[in-house]
Amino acid sequence: MTRVALVLSLALAAGEWRVAVPEYPWSFPQDHWAHDGYRTEWWYLTGHLQAESDRTRRFGYQFTLFRIGVLNEPVELDSDWASTSVIMGHAAVTDLASGEHVFAETFYRETPLLASFSDYPESRIGWSRGPAGTEGLWSLDWNGNGFDVAAVDTRQGMSFRLETNADKPLVFQGPGGFSRKGTDSSAASQYYSFTRLATTGEVELDGERFSVRGESWMDKEFSSSHLGENQVGWDWFSLQLDDGRDVMLYLMRTADGSVDYASGTLIDGQGVAEYLTMGDFVVDVLETWTSPSTDARYPSRWRVRLPSAGLDFELRGLAADQENRSRLPGRVYYWEGAVEVSGGVTGRGFVELAGYGDGNRPPV
Amino acid sequence: MIRYFFRALRAQLRGGVLLFALSLFGVSIGVASVVSIQIINLNALGAFRGSMLAVSGSADLILLGKMPTLPETLYPEVLATPGVAAAWPLYRVDVTLRDADPIVLEVIGVDFFTAIDVPWEGEAVDVSAALGQSGWVAVTATLARERGWSVGERLSVSIGTRTAELVVGALSDFEKATPLASPRLAVMDIAQAQSLLGSRGQVDQIDVKLVDGVDEAAVVAALDRKLGTKAMILTPEQREEQAADLLSAFRLNLTALSLISLFVGGFLVFSSTQAALVRRRTEFGLLRSLGATHRQVFGLLVGDVALLGLAGVAVGMPLGYLGARANIDRVSATLSNLYLLEEIHQLVVPPWFFVLGAAVGLAGAGLGALAPALELGRKDTRSLLAAFSLHARVGEKAPRWFAAGVLCVLAIVGVYAVAGDRWRPAGFVQAFLLICAIPLLTPWLVQLATSRLPVRSFGLAYGVKGLGRQLQTTPVAVAALAIAVSMVVGVTTMVSSFRDTLDIWIERTIQADIYVSTPSRRRAASHATIGADVIERLKRHPAVTHVDRLRQFFAYTNGRRFSLAGVDASVPVDRARFALLEGEVEELPRDSVLVGEPLARKEGLHVGDDLVVDGPDGPVSFPIAGIYYDYSSELGSAFLHLDTMTERFGGGTVASVALYLAPDSDADDVVDELRVAFQATPLSMRSNRGLRERAMQVFDQTFAITRLLRYMSLLIAVCGVALTLIVLARERTSELALYRALGASRLQIFRIYLGKGLGIGAAGIALGSVAGVAFALILIYVVNRAFFGWTIAMHWPLGLLVWQSAIVLLASSVASVYPAIIASRTPATELRREDL
């Protein structure tokens, strides 16, 4: 109860925070690193992997580092614990054959002892200690053409170490990398993606180790107000179609379940983006799944229509239970899972469903 | 029979209110003594336990720094240890409020983003303020109410010579979750705590929560490998045991003293049951002759005793609670000053305690009544209706009891010969044997003393001589009084000897003219340091010729916590700095260590041995050059040269300094000048004389409660004298009537009873004084050495003892006045045919 109160209050931590702006002066690769002064920032890698030794062993994975701003400017204190942010790491591996979904997490204040973000041009963007009881670090590095990530949770017998390389150029989500989340312009983020990252590395699940190969999607967002006042969550889709195109869709939901704002990006084979607005696409929920752990009822099958691009396809979760349930402060839960595209076009992707379940509004 | 019981009870109460009141008083005070001491004992660790549970309640393991803090870099290593489900660091520092009422705030620096659970009062806490607002601190709602604080209140605090401004940012409610938690717990962000009140890079404690079902021993072993000698790994239960161990001697001594009160109270019950038996013998005889069974008559007596016991409990329990409340401050001060534990902030009495109180009262009353009740059971109807022949039987048995008493005395000597002061319970076994020996020796000694007494007139001496013939009742009063007197003599002698020894030791040890430390020094230990700039300023005072610096922290040897002090001893002094028990050194040696007597005794250390101390990088060994007398703390202490300390344990700051003044300076004047000069700096300065006075004050405060217990026993015993004489007056009604019939005046009978009172008083004092000497020897040479580890030079406070004896004699005489009046009013018409 106490910890929830504390973390919820992070959202209340007021002050002069920087806000997302349409004319943000991007500078790469420096903008891959952390941005102080924003309340929330995340690096989100999701992808599909296949064991090199056994092509039937396929995995979905997620690696996320969140930077949650607590103070918008540093305080002069003679202590290594002096800190302005909290670093939260979420990592998950789903065995797509068995449906087993393992979620691991870290949550530390930013301090040289536990977790921190580095400054450009160091190759390390951020790191954190593993979960309690685990030797080893979680890390995110820029390798010049992509991101290297590592996560480990000894207790759950899960770890991965992956290297990614961009096959397609960086793409802004929203004009100029300014992604609105509602009609109120204050709910917006600075947002860009790498939609195709060739991925190699190793995955360990239940003590079994696999050399893997696959493809990832990387999202980077930072903002100080992600949700509009009436919004309680979002449905986010990142889809890699077999025809070379990629689709990102963002649907912002209100408490009654209706979508009050939506946007998206259609990226062609060369990485050229076309920005979509709410009227450009329709997402219908065909089936739902109720989490036995949280009682949250999530969509699990969708029909997606994007008439201007001639797209009409179905999405289906590759495993029902890909819900991430945090046990650490805040106790957030959301569904983040691998999906497959079928129908008019084939492909695969990841879907994130946040804010489902009673009173489960993401603290962003 | 039940109806009869209640009717008889009413009749008895009408007939002997005073007798009942005295018996009730005895049981009540006995119960009150035990209950108050047990409440204090129970609560002595309450605040410590409550605060520990409030902060570390969900922890499975507590890792405590040995140096005394831990490098915070160990925290991630602890966190990463397999089997650890969560871990959180704590930075603890006790700060002193700079206020007219300078209380100590127990500040705990925490990382709010770990699994530590702080029970907040009111709305969600703004964590950004906790991290960002300078001095943000959450205090308990109780303390805020007490002091009239609200959120936003600014608090000026000191730690060592540092000062800081804190601001109440939120209220916590630790007491809701753990009722005994100290209301002085204050929580702040660890970064702020380190930066404003302490130093970076260190934590005091790491709490660990284990994965459910994991092998605790394996995790402890893994942690042990990582932490080495830097930390102690304890479960919360072990942590509490550690504190309990610290207090065990203190608590055990109080319990022993309170049990003596109960014991003496039991004697009172014995006398009163005896009285009931005397009063009601004809009634019981009649009942028996009318067909009542042995069991029914026995039941009437048991019913009486049970009621007395229950009434004693009913009065004694609240009295005990009030007694405990009245002594909270004294015991709290001892806990805080000597044991550095949390003070008692509130008394909690668990429901089972009432059961214990009832059991103590009933058992005390029951045991007191056992012998007379059994005696009654053995009697036939005829002997109940006839006069007593008990005294004759006691008279016959007296030599055998005496022999048993002598055996007890021999056993005391035997236990000392075998165990000495090496076996902790030995002292208590000896004290118990002594208490058993007193009543066994009494009848024959009373008989012997009175038989040789020449009687020339029908007055005082006749009364005293009569004591030897009334052996069923008088030895009980004499023994009860003797036990109480022995306790008073023993404890008075021990306390007085201790006080004198301490005085001489202080005189020898405290050589500087002025001692400077900080108000937070006692509690905050190594965190409360004196800034180098302050020392420089002190040195610059024109009267100061030399400055000795002292650095102190709690270190561990062989798992035992003790105070390790480093002194630079730069000043040439005209006497040896240390009063040595073993070894010969004039000055503090560079590469060896001097060990205090309590530590040496507890660890079996001698000159030539090595003291092995847990150091930052493993054990550090020092040859022992001397063992010094040490009465500063039963925890134990050792001294080494400050440079050696820095060399072996790393640098650190100074906790206090000693100033030596030019010969023509007046220390008190210089203290006054320095106080003005350092008005803004939190320093506590005492002149040599002031420090001695303070040390003695602390000593007296520590023993205040024992003084109270001693006098409680004495009060019970004096009541016993009155009770015995009333019994005698009633029992000997026929004899008195005969005297009256033969022409004895009321004054003569009054004198006889006064003589009996004086006789009991004198015999009690004589026997009690001899036993008191033995008691003092046991306390000084066995109990103190075994439990506290210090040598006390025996000193007989003769003046005080004579004065106390005079008081007891006077009290006995006063106590005999009322019985004497009753006796003197006995009319000759009370003479019965069967008495002739």
Cα(A152)–Cα(A156) distance, rounded to whole angstroms? 9
Instruction: State the smallest CA–CA distance between residue B120 and chain A in angstroms.
Output: 7
Mean pLDDT within B466-471: 68
Q: Please tell me which of the candidates A9, A10, A77 has its beta carbon nearest to residue B192.
A: A77
- Contact A130/B80, CB-based, under 8 Å? yes
ipTM over 0.90: yes
Cα(A20)–Cα(A224) distance, rounded to whole angstroms? 7
Mean pLDDT within B762-766: 86
Residue B42's nearest CA partner among B261, B358, B320 is B320
Instruction: State the smallest CA–CA distance between residue B422 and chain A in angstroms.
Output: 45
A361 domain residue, yes or no: no
DSSP state of A177: G
Kindly list the residues of chain B whose beta carbon comes within 8 Å of any beta carbon in chain A: 72-73, 75-76, 79-87, 111-113, 115, 117-120, 124-128, 131-132, 134, 189-192, 194-196, 199-201, 211
Cα(B319)–Cα(B462) distance, rounded to whole angstroms? 40
Q: Which of A349-358, B426-435, B445-454, B533-542 has the lowest mean pLDDT?
A: B445-454
CB–CB of B333/B704 below 8 Å?
no
- Contact A81/B85, CB-based, under 8 Å? no
Cα(A120)–Cα(B311) distance, rounded to whole angstroms? 82
**Nearest 5°: CA angle at B571, between B570 and B572?**
120
CB–CB of B159/B166 below 8 Å?
no
Q: Which residues of A touch B93 (CB under 8 A)?
A: none
- Contact A77/B113, CB-based, under 8 Å? no
Q: Please tell me which of the candidates B82, B126, B200 has its beta carbon nearest to residue A9.
A: B126
- Contact A12/B115, CB-based, under 8 Å? no
Residue B835's nearest CA partner among B749, B729, B731 is B731
Confidence label for B470 from pLDDT (cuts 50, 70 and 90): low
Judged against a pLDDT cut of 50, whether residue A38 lies above it is answered with yes
Q: What are the φ/ψ torsions at residue B265 (nearest 5 degrees)?
A: -60, -40
Which structure tokens are listed for B31? Answer: 């119960």
Cα(B596)–Cα(B593) distance, rounded to whole angstroms? 10
Mean pLDDT across chain B: 81
Residue B523's nearest CA partner among B97, B66, B45 is B97
Q: Which residues of B touch A116 (CB under 8 A)?
A: none
Cα(A45)–Cα(A47) distance, rounded to whole angstroms? 7
Q: Which residues contact B374 (CB under 8 A, 6 or more apart)?
A: none
The enclosing H or E element of B590 equals none
- Contact B117/A3, CB-based, under 8 Å? yes
| C-alpha dist (Å) from residue B561 to A115, B220, B461, B556, B598 | 35, 20, 61, 5, 12
Q: Which residues of B touch A109 (CB under 8 A)?
A: 111-113
pLDDT tens figures, B704-725: 777 776 777 677 777 777 777 7
pLDDT tens figures, B234-283: 888 877 777 777 677 677 767 766 766 667 666 666 666 666 666 666 77
Residue B764's nearest CA partner among B478, B571, B475 is B478
What is the reported pLDDT for A13? 47
| C-alpha dist (Å) from residue A216 to A43, A213, A336, B436 | 13, 10, 14, 88
Which one has a higher pLDDT value, B345 or B518?
A: B518
A363 domain residue, yes or no: no
What is the reported pLDDT for B390? 47
Cα(B642)–Cα(B654) distance, rounded to whole angstroms? 10
- Contact B80/A78, CB-based, under 8 Å? no
Q: Which domain holds residue A147?
A: 2-354
List the single residue in B with minimal CA-CA distance to A136. B80
Instruction: State the smallest CA–CA distance between residue B600 and chain A in angstroms.
Output: 40
Cα(B35)–Cα(B359) distance, rounded to whole angstroms? 11
Mean pLDDT across chain A: 92
List the single residue in A with minimal CA-CA distance to B119. A2
Cα(A137)–Cα(A142) distance, rounded to whole angstroms? 16
What is the reported pLDDT for B1? 62
Q: Which residues of A touch B85 (CB under 8 A)?
A: 132-133
CB–CB of A59/A213 below 8 Å?
no
Q: Which of A69-73, B300-304, B782-786 has the lowest mean pLDDT?
A: B300-304
CB–CB of B183/B140 below 8 Å?
yes
Instruction: Please give the tally of structural domains in chain A.
Output: 1
Q: Which residues of A touch B199 (CB under 8 A)?
A: 78
Instruction: State the smallest CA–CA distance between residue B228 and chain A in angstroms.
Output: 19
Q: Which residues of B touch A133 (CB under 8 A)?
A: 79-85, 211
Instruction: State the smallest CA–CA distance between residue B80 and chain A in angstroms.
Output: 4
pLDDT tens figures, B416-461: 888 777 777 888 888 889 888 888 888 888 878 777 777 777 777 7
Residue B527's nearest CA partner among B24, B230, B94 is B94
Judged against a pLDDT cut of 60, whether residue B22 lies above it is answered with yes
Cα(B571)–Cα(B626) distance, rounded to whole angstroms? 20
Which one has a higher pLDDT value, B135 or B42?
A: B135
List the single residue in B with minimal CA-CA distance to A115. B76
CB–CB of B459/B752 below 8 Å?
yes
Q: Please tell me which of the candidates A13, A114, A134 has its beta carbon nearest to residue B127.
A: A13
A30 domain residue, yes or no: yes
DSSP state of B792: -
- Contact B112/A6, CB-based, under 8 Å? yes
CB–CB of B54/B181 below 8 Å?
yes
Mean pLDDT within B126-155: 92
Instruction: State the smallest CA–CA distance between residue A321 and chain B in angstroms.
Output: 24
Q: Which residues of B touch A81 (CB under 8 A)?
A: 72, 111, 189-191, 194
- The SS3 call for residue A137 is strand
> Taking the CA of residue B154 as centre, how many other CA atoms within 13 Å lie in the half-sphere pointing to its CB?
6
- Contact A2/B117, CB-based, under 8 Å? yes
Check which CATH number belongs to the domain holding A310 and give it.
2.40.370.10
Task: Choose from B113, B162, B171, B202 for mutation: most chain A CBs within 10 A.
Answer: B113
What is the reported pLDDT for A204? 97
Q: Which residues of B touch A77 (CB under 8 A)?
A: 191-192, 194-196
What is the reported pLDDT for A11? 44
Instruction: State the smallest CA–CA distance between residue A13 and chain B in angstroms.
Output: 6
A189 domain residue, yes or no: yes
- Contact A77/B86, CB-based, under 8 Å? no
What is the reported pLDDT for A8? 38
What is the reported pLDDT for B375? 67
What is the reported pLDDT for B337? 63
Which structure tokens are listed for B490? Answer: 């023993």
Which structure tokens are listed for B21? Answer: 């009141």
Q: Which residues of A touch B119 (CB under 8 A)?
A: 2
Q: Please tell me which of the candidates B131, B199, B200 has its beta carbon nearest to residue A75.
A: B131
Instruction: State the smallest CA–CA distance between residue A111 and chain B in angstroms.
Output: 10
Give alpha helix (H) positions in B16-45. 17-44
Q: Please tell me which of the candidates A10, A77, A329 has its beta carbon nearest to residue B195.
A: A77
End-to-end CA distance of chain B: 34
CB–CB of B126/A12 below 8 Å?
yes
Q: Which residues of B touch A70 (CB under 8 A)?
A: 127-128, 131-132
- Contact B200/A78, CB-based, under 8 Å? yes
**Nearest 5°: CA angle at B645, between B539 and B582?**
100
CB–CB of A226/A364 below 8 Å?
yes
Judged against a pLDDT cut of 70, whether residue B830 lies above it is answered with no
What does R_g of chain B's alpha carbons equal in angstroms? 32
Q: Please tell me which of the candidates A79, A86, A108 has its beta carbon nearest to residue B200.
A: A79
CB–CB of B174/B181 below 8 Å?
yes
% helix, strand, coil for chain B, step of 5: 60, 15, 25
Q: What are the φ/ψ torsions at residue B134 (nearest 5 degrees)?
A: -60, 125
Q: What is the 3-state secondary structure (H, E, C) of B295-363?
A: HHHHHHHHHHHHHHHHHHHHHHHHHHHHHHHHHHHHHHHHHHHHCCCCCCCCCCCCHHHHHHHHHHHHH
DSSP state of B151: T
Which structure tokens are listed for B174? Answer: 């630790």
Mean pLDDT within B758-775: 87
| C-alpha dist (Å) from residue B456 to B254, B453, B773, B813 | 47, 10, 34, 21
What is the reported pLDDT for B574? 57
**Nearest 5°: CA angle at B635, between B633 and B641?**
80
Instruction: State the smallest CA–CA distance between residue A70 and chain B in angstroms.
Output: 5
Cα(B476)–Cα(B583) distance, rounded to whole angstroms? 51
CB–CB of A204/A234 below 8 Å?
no
Residue A13's nearest CA partner among A289, A225, A288, A190 is A225
Q: Which residues of A touch B75 (CB under 8 A)?
A: 113
CB–CB of A283/A235 below 8 Å?
yes
Q: How many CB atoms lie within 10 A of CB A320?
A: 16
A362 domain residue, yes or no: no
Residues in chain B: 836
Q: Please tell me which of the candidates B113, B126, B211 has its beta carbon nearest to residue A109.
A: B113
Q: How many CB pairs under 8 A join A and B?
A: 111
Instruction: State the smallest CA–CA distance between residue A134 and chain B in angstroms.
Output: 5
Task: Choose from A10, A77, A84 for mutation: most chain B CBs within 10 A.
Answer: A77
CB–CB of B609/B578 below 8 Å?
no
Which one has a higher pLDDT value, B675 or B124?
A: B675
Instruction: State the smallest CA–CA distance between residue B193 and chain A in angstroms.
Output: 9
Instruction: State the smallest CA–CA distance between residue A62 and chain B in angstroms.
Output: 22
A364 domain residue, yes or no: no
Mean pLDDT within A226-233: 83
Cα(B3)–Cα(B202) distance, rounded to whole angstroms? 75
Judged against a pLDDT cut of 60, whether residue A15 lies above it is answered with no
Cα(B483)–Cα(B768) distance, rounded to whole angstroms? 6
**Nearest 5°: CA angle at B825, between B820 and B830?**
120
pLDDT tens figures, B42-85: 777 777 777 777 777 788 999 988 777 889 999 999 999 999 99
